[in-house]
Amino acid sequence: MTSQSVEGPNQHISDGGRQPIRHVGVCVDGSPIGDRIVPHGVALARAFGAKLTVLHALEPPHEGVKATPTDPLEWEAQRTEARRHLAAVESEHAASGVPVGIEILEGRPAEEIRDWVSSHGIDLTVLASHGESGWTEWSLASTARKLIEGISGSVLLVPAASVQEPLKGDVAYSRILVLLDGSPRAESGLPLASSIARVHGSELLLLHVVSRPERSCPCPLEEEEQDLEQRLVDRNARAAEVYLESVRGHVAGDGFRVRTLVAVDGDVRGEILRRIAEDHVDLVVFSGHGRGGRAELPFGSVASFLLEHATAPLLVVRERIPEIARTLPRSRSRGGVRLPHLATS
């Protein structure tokens, strides 16, 4: 998210040509944390009018890190227990009004889930940062990391720290933070955020962080240079305010409030984390790539940082790519850059 990418009032808010969310998948592993993210999937499926499938991938012993022969009787007992557990999950959420299905996969979890998501048209995958293996020194468990980087479509990552205790009642997103940098990619999260806010009666926070210009050397600036830098920052902050007000006018509707936030900070990532904490944000919505994102990478730098460090659930908006397209070289071409349209004072 950079200050140079902001423009004045848009003629429309881009959704990136994105298809609606019709099918939500939730990845569980039989652990308490896995079960506690299912209500997030139910809440999102209800917001989008989508169906929900709860996925559990069983890894045979011979596929694990410590490969050992698979005992047929023990393996059948594990499958029976997994079916019993998923049936209980299905029954628990049967009264939600959301069509809930269950699916047991067998094999390496990340690969099996990735392939199932691709072949069954999952538009949004819900997963926890950690699961049955518990806490590690890493911000993301290995399976979660592989899924985030490998699956197609949007992802809701629920930090394990946010679901340590059983939920009391349904998931409610009272305050949703949407990260914007003026690019059509970033705006693609607005339709999804608006749909969720409308169903949950949420307050929608639209945030743009104006970064300070990057310096090519650590040498002190002359007074004239400091003045020039500050004038540029002030101009970009005014442009950001105009832009966010335009966006607010497009997304404001009955059932939810919209508030705009413009922050000036040299540490964009730190400012986002601060806003999440201070505004008690329940859900963060943003695009996997913003203005400067490289399409050949799974995520941009800001998105990658948030996936590692944010403490609130993160809805990362990405297009669903057909399996055949994922094997083809990606084009390095980029779309045109939209510059600020703000008259100088």
List, for residues 185-230, the tens digit of each pLDDT value: 899 999 999 999 999 999 999 999 998 877 777 778 778 878 888 8
Q: What pLDDT sits at residue 47? A: 94
Cα–Cα nearest to 194, from 172, 176, 171, 174: 176
Structure confidence by residue, pLDDT tens digits, 99-128: 999 999 999 999 999 999 999 999 999 999
In a domain, 336, yes or no: no
Structure confidence by residue, pLDDT tens digits, 225-250: 788 888 989 999 999 999 999 999 98
In a domain, 342, yes or no: no
Confidence (pTM)? 0.83
Domain total in the chain: 1
Q: How far apart are CA 340 and CA 345, in angstroms?
A: 14
In a domain, 332, yes or no: no
In a domain, 206, yes or no: yes
- Parallel, antiparallel, or unpaired for β 314-317 and 154-158? antiparallel
In a domain, 277, yes or no: yes
Q: What pLDDT sits at residue 330? A: 38
- For 40, list phi and psi in degrees, rounded to 5: -65, -45
Three-state DSSP at 7 gives coil
Three-state DSSP at 283 gives strand
Among the residue ranges 59-63, 178-182, 321-325, the one predicted with the least confidence is: 321-325
On average, the pLDDT of the chain sits at: 82
pLDDT, greater one: 329 or 141: 141
% of the chain surpassing 70 pLDDT: 80
In a domain, 327, yes or no: no
Backbone torsion region of residue 197, taken as left when φ is above 0, otherwise alpha when ψ lies between -120 and 50, otherwise beta? alpha
| Cβ contact 158:127 at 8 Å | yes
In a domain, 333, yes or no: no
- The domain in which residue 296 lies consists of 3-322
CATH code, domain with 128: 3.40.50.12370
Burial of 223 (0-12, 13-18, 19+ CB in 10 A): exposed
Instruction: Give 293-297 contacts, CB < 8 A, sequence gap 24+.
Output: 293/185, 295/330, 295/331, 295/332, 295/334, 296/330, 296/332
pLDDT, greater one: 42 or 331: 42
Q: What pLDDT sits at residue 71? A: 80
In a domain, 345, yes or no: no
- For 310, list phi and psi in degrees, rounded to 5: -70, 150
Residues 6+ away with beta carbon under 8 Å from 50: 21, 22, 23, 24, 44, 98, 123, 124
